Amino acid sequence: MPESVSIVVPAYNEAAHIGRCLESIGAFAAAWDRPVEIIVVDDGSADATAAIVESFPAQGPAVRLLRHERNLGKGAAVRTGFRAAGGEIVLFTDVDLSAPITEAPRLVDPIAAGRYDIVIGSRAIDPSHVKLHQSLFRRAAGRVFNRLVRLTAGLDFHDTQCGFKAFRRTAAAGLFERQRVGGFAFDVELLFLASRSGLRILEVPVEWSHHQDSRVSLVHHTPGMLADLCRIRWHYWRGTYGGLAGGADRDLPATCSQRT
């Protein structure tokens, strides 16, 4: 029997989009040749997000709702969903489905084949997969952030921030337990920990379309994301990531990018 998949959807004040998101995921999962569960983590929403999920028709793949009493950040929401997941492979996606859920096999299949522990979607490897681009300013800011990620975390990836990633649950469980960053830079921390733990990571291009109502604000979130990069290095140097050697850097395991 094919390995099961848990699809985690972090949501904060997403009443306008969560219904359409669940319909798309449900329709895809019903036709997929894998057992699927859908986990929505309501990260302290003040709107009707939770009510819409609770009233979602009970047909097709099971939809579970988990709730934070207050807003803790996207990283914390993904961690909550991962901890509750029962699937052998756990995939998280943004509510807006900027990367359509039909791209899920591109992430899940290499893990199911036993070749990789983590597969991350990328907007930067092959721009031809991008259907609707971000503004020039946002793209320039993304390139600067990626350079800083390479300098501070030593990660040789083209795109750490695409909200479309899959993990073998048993291999990645320790990463989420060590996680310290709750905001939008949590992806960097997870990949940093995974690289330092010797996990096999693949970066693949995925179809992607920018949504104008993206929750990532360059003005409001960039300072926090930059501070989080410093926190990641600080935690590593202090040895607070249990099981990882702090202090002097050591060579990172090879990562892999795939153009298809």
What average pLDDT does the segment 233-251 reach?
A: 68
181 pLDDT above the threshold of 90: no
CATH among 1.20.1200.10, 3.90.550.10, 3.40.630.10, 3.40.50.720 for 1-97: 3.90.550.10
219 pLDDT above the threshold of 50: no
- pLDDT value of position 136: 65
Estimate to the nearest angstrom the gap between the alpha carbon of 22 and the chain centroid.
17
Q: Closest Cα to residue 189, out of 227, 158, 245?
A: 227
Higher pLDDT, 224 or 81: 81
Average pLDDT of every residue of the chain: 86
SS3 string, the chain, reads CCCCEEEEEEECCCCCCHHHHHHHHHHHHHHCCCCEEEEEEEECCCCCHHHHHHCCCCCCCEEEEEEECCCCCHHHHHHHHHHHCCCCEEEEECCCCCCCHHHHHHHHHHHHCCCCCEEEEECCCCHHHEEECCCHHHHHHHHHHHHHHHHHHCCCCCCCCCCEEEEEHHHHHHHHHHCCCCCCCHHHHHHHHHHHCCCCEEEEECCEECCCCCCCCHHHHHHHHHHHHHHHHHHHHHCCCCCCCCCCCCCCCCCEECCC
For the chain, what are the domain ranges? 1-97, 123-160+173-260
Minimum mean pLDDT among 28-32, 158-162, 180-184: which range? 180-184
63 pLDDT above the threshold of 70: yes
| Residue 23 near residue 55, CB atoms below 8 Å | no
Percentage of residues in the chain having pLDDT higher than 70: 83
pLDDT confidence band for 139 (50 / 70 / 90):
low
pTM for this prediction: 0.85
- pLDDT value of position 31: 94
Tens digit of each residue's pLDDT (9 = 90 or more) over 12-30: 999 999 999 999 999 999 9
- pLDDT value of position 154: 82
252 pLDDT above the threshold of 60: no
164 pLDDT above the threshold of 50: yes
Minimum mean pLDDT among 121-130, 137-146, 235-244: which range? 137-146
Tens digit of each residue's pLDDT (9 = 90 or more) over 85-126: 999 999 999 999 999 999 999 999 999 999 999 999 998 887
What average pLDDT does the segment 23-52 reach?
A: 97
Phi and psi dihedrals of 124, rounded to 5?
-105, -20
Long-range contacts of range 52-55, CB-CB < 8 Å, 24 or more positions apart?
52/15, 52/18, 52/19, 53/11, 53/18, 53/22
- pLDDT value of position 156: 87
